[in-house]
Structure formats: C-alpha cells, structure tokens
Structure 1
C-alpha cells in the first residue's frame, strides 16, 4: 500500500548496492547507531568477494524522496529455514540496519511492512546487535513475534589520551606500563598511519604478520584466504578516505614489525584486527603500543569510547574494560521462524556453557 510522501522498495539486482553509493553514504552519516560495518565501503567490498548472485535484498524506505531507512540483507538457508541476514555478518562485530532517527519514526514501520511483503524467507536474524542499535528499534515496532538472546560480549574503554587512561589503573600497574612504553620509545619503535593510496599493499603486510603471529596456534581460517585479503583491501581504501578506518604500521630499525586495523564509528574507535612479528614481544609490550595509538586516535576525533570489539581475551582484561553484551535478534515472518529461533537459542545456551563451565 502506498502512502503519500513515502515509498518502499526491495532491490534484488546484484549491482544495486554499487548504484546506491551516494544515497547510502548520506544515510549512514545521519544514522548515529550505525557502525563501520554498515558503511557502504564495507558492505560493497564484502558483497563483491562473498556475495552469491541472486541473493541480495536491499530494503529501502524513502520519505519525500530521501532515503531514511535501509536494510542491507542477503537471503540464505540455515537449520532448514530460509533466512534473511545482514550483509557481511560473518566478518562484522556489529550487525544492524540504517535508520535516520531525525526522520518520522514511521520509517521503521514502512521498513517492517516492506520486509514482510518480501517473499521467500521465514526469519530475519541479526546475530550481533549492540545496545541502542537500529535493529533493536525495529524489533520494538515489529508486528509479529520476535526473540532476543545473548550473543558476543564486547569490551569498552573510555576514550581519551594515554595518561588519562593510565590514571584509571592502580598506581603500580600504571607505573609498569609507562616504563614499558619508555622502553619501546628508547628502542625507537615508531608508529604511523597508512594513507589510502598505500592501503592495498599494507593490508597484505598486515595479514602476513597476522598469520606469523598465530603460527603453531589455531587461527581463524578465513583470515588466511585470498578473498578476505581482497575484501579488506577493497573496503579500506574508501574507508580510510572517508574517516571510517585507520591502519597503523609499527617499525623498528626500518623494518615493519606490527600492523593494526582500527575502524572508526559514530562516537567510538574499534580495534578490529592486528598482526605482529613474534620477535617484537622481546622488546615491547605489543598490546600497549597498539592501545596508545588507538587512544590517540579517539582523542583526536573527540570520541567517547574505545571498543576492543568482540572477545574477552586475557590481554584485553588487564585494561579493566567494561563488558557490553551484544544480542541476537530474530524476527519472525511466518510460523517456521519458531524452529529457527529455537536452534539459535540452543546455540546461545551452549556457548554460555563453554564460556562459563560452572553454569548450572
């Protein structure tokens, strides 16, 4: 049903996202809940490397001709159910839709109705919705059944310069960290941001270091594949230019010893992926070096927080971060979604047991 001033459509052609670049960037800038994982550059590069022809579903809502809400989705099948999932979800720490809250909130109602009119799916799954996401707002206006369940835990730190950050820590710990930084500086371990024109080569060096860092230990196999390398390279060139990412390189005696990829969102800087020469640990505290640059980046940009993104690895916990749990949101289109939601809930329960062996 058409409503004066409003329009909604679903784009299914494989090149649709590329053609929406200008509108998408404009909406992203007006969507404060959006993260770099919903940026046009990230999604377009992922679709180029991972997308399956005929599976793209871009749900677009306009008011007065201006794009005010968008759901970048891909149609697939999981646990026997046809499912819509966010583009790039497997490689993204946050999954969401875009929504301009300064527009009429009915935009989300139009988005929901357009989704429900789209045939061929049973459940809509946002596996990693952070608190305050537009996906949560959509769920609140969803006219059919929906489920919320635990997902990954992200770790947040307050943004600001390094001295302010270290002042949060016990005096003894802060003193040790300052001494380690002085040692790294005395050995002339330097850091510099990579310009966009060097990003392609720098991504290759980053992933080579990442593989060396994980030598003889289990590594995410996707990080070793050429398509992941092409995805990062394709995404980072425009993301660096648009201020949505930074890639820092660390050198010692002229040799590249570490690289760190940081994503830049609305109000936060996030540590996405790094690689380090194993030998660097003999002369410097690697995680502390990386954190200093991330904090400096957050301070320069006036951000409110630094996110260490998903995972509760021990090296992150020494910074005394604040845990911020994501949620998995499953929205039903038809009765078959109950089967999918039950399977997702079972996985969430098993994951909680693995992370907490004392779980009753």
Structure 2
C-alpha cells in the first residue's frame, strides 16, 4: 500500500471533477464494463442522488489508480453503503489499475473501514475485482448468488466457417437463425426496411421512439416498463450522448415501410456487447422487429471481434433461444462485527 493515498468523495462536484482521471483508470482496466464508466455513473448520480456520496478514490501521486463509487443510504436502523448505479446497472464493481491491483484493493478496504456503515456490493460478475478486496480487521463478510446474466459466446465467430451465409455466428442455434431469416423476409414483404441510429436522427428523437416502442410493448402485456419512470428517462437522456461520444453505446431504429417498428439500445466495451433495452410496435409482431435488431447487434459484435454478447439480467426464454448460457452475478457484504458478536 506504500505510496497510495485514499480519499472519500462526498460531493457531486468533486465526483464530476474526477472524470478525466476516472476515464484514464477505466481504460486501463480491461474488464471494466460501461456500467463503471463516468459516462454511465455521473448521469446516474445527477438523475437520482438517492443518498450521501461516500465514493473512495485511491491515488498514486497524481494518478487515480482505484475507485469505489458508493453512497450512503440512510434507514431507520442506520445506514448502509450501496454502489452508485444500483438498480439500472447490470454489472457493478470497483476500478483497480491492474498494475496496482492488490495494493489498490487493500487501500479501498482500509478506507471503507473508516466508516461504520456496512458496505454492499451488488451485481458482481465472476472475476470482479470487488470479490478480492480484503476483509478489514474487525469486519465480517457475507456472499451470495445474484441474478443470471445469459451470455452468448462468440468464440470462433471470426474464423473461417464460423458464420452462416447471412453472416450470423454459428454459435446461434440453427433454429433461431432460420426464424431470423423468416422475420427478415416478412419485414421486406411488408415494406422497405431501413435501420437508423441515434447519430442519424439525434439522441432525443431516438429516445422518444425508444420510449414509445418500449411502452407499447409493455402496455400490451399490462405493465408499464422501466421507461415509464421520469427519473429513468432523464438519466438516459443525459447518459446516451456521453456513451456515444465514448464509443460505448450502440443504437438502432428499425423502420418497416417508413414506420418505426422497433428500437434497440445496447452497450459495448473492448471485449463484449450488451443488449440493454429495446421495444417494438405490437402491430409488427409477425415481423419480429426485436429479433431482427438483436440479430443485427450480435452480427455487429462478431464483426468487431467481441468475445461475447451479454443479454444481461433475467432468465427470459428468448435469450436461450439465441444460444446464451447463464453466467451468475453475485453479491458481497462487508460489515463491522457487533460488540456482542
């Protein structure tokens, strides 16, 4: 831990001031997902701010080498520390520069122990840095299983013979690829098929269509959908331009016969693509616009050499039809030992 200095960030202004150094350590962390980037977490805090910031930053001189974005949620029995980004983020963790990983995690744990509130990490994927943070002296640890995040492996998709004639990875089951071809043909018979992005139409118009289509899909099932929440909509309107500028978002608006039939909003990093949220017009259910857009996103992930395509949290049947297999998230809680043991 020699040479490292930890500080606690307690204001939104101080958190925002970290952005350049935050990006630097994020880019040095090969496993860091977009959910840990300032393009995602700064807008989240701006939109929600559900407690008191208690984010820990670890420095080596002028270089930020570790970051644990946390806030304190107060309650009737005291407070607890939760990750910034909780609920809307499907993968959470801490950032630790690989060159200083062990020392950074020790510094983060030591700084965390200076506050009395229990610390709860949620949505940790296998191999997340936070699993390896040491338990501070006088503290105890609990671990548990979280939600499944089905993942499609794209290994071999860039090799000769790794795709079918339509460019779809053979990791996608033949039955799903056949149904995708049928959906494309039905869409073409209904009208001209065109795909636009948020860069083509603008972020606000794209999100307008996404919100409408997402709402239409869920209303047809008697539910509201996550985008019915005003704060969630505000968050995405602040986050999407930043994510696109950083190359961390993928968007697609599918028009069939000039009508917006489906929308897709995904995330990406160096190694993976993530299907985050989408929607479609129930009047186009026979054309399966959601499947057409997912197929397009999976093919694009394979084109850029991504190793996996994550469908994120939830065990919906359609994810397994695409060939995905469960990858389980988990949670970890660190809390001070009570005097009575």
The normalised TM-score by structure 2 is: 0.89
1:154-173 pair list within 5 angstroms: 154-159=149-154, 160=157, 163=164, 165=168, 167-168=170-171, 171=174
Alpha-carbon displacement from aligned partner over 1:295-350 (angstroms, at most 9, x marks no partner):
133124321000000011122221221100000111123439x9xxxxxxxxxxxx
Say if 2:72 is the partner of 1:68.
no
Equivalent residue for 1:348?
none
1:255-270 pair list within 5 angstroms: 255-270=259-274
**CA positional deviation for 1:220:** 5.6
Counterparts of 1:165 and 1:141, CA distance in 2: 45
Q: Which runs of 5+ in 1 are unaligned?
A: 339-360
Say if 2:143 is the partner of 1:148.
yes
Q: Which runs of 5+ in 2 are unaligned?
A: none
Counterparts of 1:80 and 1:8, CA distance in 2: 28
Among 294, 297, 318, the alignment partner of 1:294 is 297
Q: Cα 1:196–1:255, aligned 2, differ >3 Å: closer, same or farther?
A: closer
Q: Contact 1:130–1:325 (CA<8 Å) still a contact in 2?
A: yes
Helix, strand or coil for the counterpart of 1:151?
strand
More helix by share: 1
Q: Contact 2:135–2:334 (CA<8 Å) still a contact in 1?
A: no
How many residue pairs get aligned? The number is 330
Q: Aligned-pair RMSD on alpha carbons?
A: 2.4
Equivalent residue for 1:136?
131
Equivalent residue for 2:307?
304
**CA positional deviation for 1:213:** 0.8
Alpha-carbon displacement from aligned partner over 1:61-102 (angstroms, at most 9, x marks no partner):
011321111011110035834110100101111111111112
Helix, strand or coil for the counterpart of 2:219?
coil
- The 4+ residue runs of structure 1 with deviation greater than 4 A are 140-143, 169-173
Helix, strand or coil for the counterpart of 2:275?
strand
Among 250, 259, 279, the alignment partner of 1:275 is 279
Q: Contact 1:59–1:71 (CA<8 Å) still a contact in 2?
A: yes
**CA positional deviation for 1:196:** 8.4
Helix, strand or coil for the counterpart of 1:107?
helix
The normalised TM-score by structure 1 is: 0.84
**CA positional deviation for 1:190:** 2.3
